[in-house]
């Protein structure tokens, strides 16, 4: 169970958005202002320093579960800022050739911090050892190495006559970029839904990779100065977006992991795998195209087509298997009598709903409903009438619930209800409405509790159950709200039976 935000950090506020807007204006200044001017350089370093300060301050307030991840991210930003300062001192103050130099050591160290941060986030998101995600990441990484070999490494090697330290430093940056992409892909393959902080983190490192790619290509053509404005804007966008991610709602949760149950791959995974498996034959086709080798070109093109068709066929097979698994899973998750989710489904849903409340900054009400004197009703009218009562109550309550609610059969005549985004008096009025539409001549006792940011879903469920005992003790047919400050339930509260 992830550590939760405080109520203040849970609720989306203008702070992160305002910071992001100001930071992006600073990024835009790198394109609009004269390159190399005092205002241009001041905007870059002031915005970079502010981003580092915001990120470090946010990291200090993080709960222990994610503090290491954001701490490594902060170290990446700080190391990059120090490298930029060292580089400027070398070139602008000392007037010396800055490559390779101390700045490059700092830049490379920063990349390592970023890779480790993404790797730790991936491990935190994984519900178990996701070997499929590791295999998929390997496919994408090998494809990137192949592309880098053709587009970057080979031109650098061909243009090099002296294999000195500068050569190895130039080769190191693309390798670090590939490691960063691999770590980012591994993280994205481990989640099904991208919350705001993870979207911002992805955009941040995408901006960094794009800046590196632009700079490396322009440098290869001897026009690095013409790319400075755009590449520096992208470099600056990286710390700006990371600072926004650390202060955005849900930053302490990062993301919800992909369930390890059988399911069709996400769109991100399908696209990544498709690109990964066709990259090598496409590169082979590109390399062979200038030569007069029609048979080899034909074989390379046929390989691409066969791979795409095979992927399409696998997708269709997965869709069939997923459909069958969904039918079986639905039977395992559903109560056969009422058609509601059963206790097993509730076990999963209560914690998932709490995580969603943490991420979205919403309130959450948990309620327990118990049909009064149900055993006596069964004894008097028979089990078929009792079954009909359970079905009727479930149908009536379900129709009256707002969208997004979750009603499950807890066991026997007891039901559990989750109300995301509903709290306080609104929840009480809604539950009173359920009590009023209970099947004729029958009554229901309801206990409810508002989830608190420092408790788990089951703790809130236990407090709702405690309130249900209080409702029974007070005479049944009523709605009782739990007091979160109460240490224990009185003996009178547990004395009546719950029939």
Please tell me the distance from the alpha carbon of residue 388 to that of residue 226, in angstroms, as a whole number: 77
Question: Are the CB atoms for 391 and 478 separated by under 8 Å?
Answer: no
Q: State both tokens at 26.
A: 């600073």
Residues 6 or more apart in contact with residue 335 via CB below 8 angstroms: 341, 342, 408, 409
In the numeric block, the tokens 């370093």 are attached to: 45
Of 360, 404, 344, which is closest to residue 256 (Cα–Cα)?
360
**Tens-place pLDDT, residues 272-290:** 777 777 777 777 777 777 7
Helices (runs of H) and strands (runs of E) counted in the chain: 17, 5
Query: What's the confidence (pLDDT) of residue 98?
Result: 66
pLDDT on residue 414: 93
164-178 pLDDT per residue, tens: 777 788 788 888 888
> What is the number of other CB atoms lying within 10 angstroms of the CB of residue 381?
12
**428 labelled catalytic:** no
Q: How far is CA 29 from the centre of its chain?
A: 31
With residue 481 as reference, give the H or E element that holds it.
strand 479-481
Pairwise CA distance, residues 147 & 170, whole Å: 16
Q: Please tell me the distance from the alpha carbon of residue 413 to that of residue 477, in angstroms, as a whole number.
A: 14
Q: What is the homologous superfamily of the domain 343-494 according to CATH? A: Reverse transcriptase/Diguanylate cyclase domain (3.30.70.270)
What per-residue confidence (pLDDT) applies to 458? 87
Angle between helices 343-360 and 457-473 (to 10 degrees): 110
Q: Tens-digit pLDDT profile for the chain (499 aa)?
A: 333 333 333 343 446 777 788 888 888 888 888 877 788 888 888 988 999 999 999 999 888 878 899 999 999 999 999 998 998 888 777 777 767 788 889 999 999 999 999 988 888 776 444 677 777 777 777 887 777 777 767 766 776 677 777 778 878 888 888 889 888 888 887 676 778 888 899 999 999 988 888 877 666 555 555 457 888 889 999 999 999 999 888 787 665 554 444 444 556 667 777 777 777 777 777 777 777 777 777 777 887 788 788 777 777 777 777 776 666 656 567 888 888 998 888 888 888 888 888 877 789 999 999 999 999 998 889 989 999 999 999 999 999 999 989 999 998 899 999 999 998 889 999 999 999 999 888 999 999 999 988 888 889 999 999 999 999 999 999 999 997 665 444 333 333 444 5
pLDDT of 2: 35
- Between the CA of residue 419 and those of 132, 357, 450, what are the distances in Å? 35, 10, 9
**Model confidence, pTM:** 0.57
Contact 443, 476 (CB under 8 A): yes
Q: Are strands 414-420 and 364-371 parallel, antiparallel or unpaired?
A: antiparallel
Cis peptide before 100 (omega within 30 of 0): yes
Do residues 468 and 447 make contact, with C-beta atoms less than 8 angstroms apart? yes
Question: Which residue is catalytic, options 232, 326, 349, 413?
Answer: 413
């Amino acid at each position: 169970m992830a550590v939760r935000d405080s109520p203040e950090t849970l609720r989306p506020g203008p702070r992160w958005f305002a910071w992001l807007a100001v930071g992006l204006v600073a990024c835009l200044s790198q394109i609009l202002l004269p390159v190399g001017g005092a205002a241009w350089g001041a905007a870059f370093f002031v915005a970079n320093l502010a981003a580092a300060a915001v990120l470090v301050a946010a990291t200090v307030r993080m709960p222990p579960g994610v503090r290491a991840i954001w701490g490594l991210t902060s170290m990446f930003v700080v190391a990059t800022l120090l490298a930029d300062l060292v580089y400027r001192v070398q070139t602008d103050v000392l007037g010396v050739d800055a490559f390779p130099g101390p700045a490059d050591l700092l830049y490379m160290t920063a990349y390592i911090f970023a890779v480790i941060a993404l790797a730790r986030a991936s491990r935190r998101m994984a519900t178990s050892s996701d070997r499929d995600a590791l295999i998929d990441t390997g496919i994408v990484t090998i494809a990137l190495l192949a592309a880098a070999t053709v587009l970057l490494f080979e031109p650098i090697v061909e243009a090099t006559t002296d294999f000195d330290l500068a050569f190895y430093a130039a080769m190191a940056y693309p390798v670090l970029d590939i490691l960063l992409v691999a770590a980012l892909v591994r993280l994205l393959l481990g989640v099904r839904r991208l919350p705001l902080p993870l979207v911002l983190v992805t955009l941040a490192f995408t901006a960094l990779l794009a800046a590196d790619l632009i700079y490396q290509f322009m440098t290869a053509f001897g026009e690095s100065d013409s790319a400075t404005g755009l590449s520096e804007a992208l470099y600056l966008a990286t710390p700006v977006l990371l600072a926004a991610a650390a202060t955005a709602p849900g930053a302490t949760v990062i993301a919800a992991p992909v369930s390890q149950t059988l399911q069709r791959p996400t769109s991100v995974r399908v696209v990544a795998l498709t690109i990964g498996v066709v990259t090598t034959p496409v590169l082979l086709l590109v390399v062979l195209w200038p030569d007069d080798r029609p048979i080899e070109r034909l074989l390379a093109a046929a390989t691409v087509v066969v791979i795409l068709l095979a992927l399409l066929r696998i997708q269709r097979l997965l869709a069939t298997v997923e459909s069958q698994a969904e039918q079986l899973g639905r039977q395992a998750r559903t109560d056969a009598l009422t058609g509601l989710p059963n206790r097993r489904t509730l076990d999963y849903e209560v914690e998932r709903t709490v995580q969603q409340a943490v991420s979205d900054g919403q309130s959450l009400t948990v309620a327990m409903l118990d049909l009064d004197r149900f055993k006596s009703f069964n004894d008097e009218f028979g089990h078929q009438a009792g079954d009909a009562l359970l079905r009727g109550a479930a149908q009536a309550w379900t129709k009256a619930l707002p969208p997004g609610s979750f009603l499950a059969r807890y066991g026997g005549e007891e039901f559990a209800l989750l109300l995301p985004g509903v709290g306080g008096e609104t929840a009480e009025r809604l539950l009173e409405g359920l009590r009023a539409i209970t099947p004729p001549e029958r009554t229901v006792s309801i206990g409810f509790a508002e989830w608190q940011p420092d408790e788990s879903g089951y703790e809130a469920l236990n407090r709702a159950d405690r309130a249900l005992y209080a409702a029974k003790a007070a005479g049944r047919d009523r709605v009782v709200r739990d007091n979160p400050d109460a240490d224990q339930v009185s003996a009178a509260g547990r004395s009546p039976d719950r029939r």
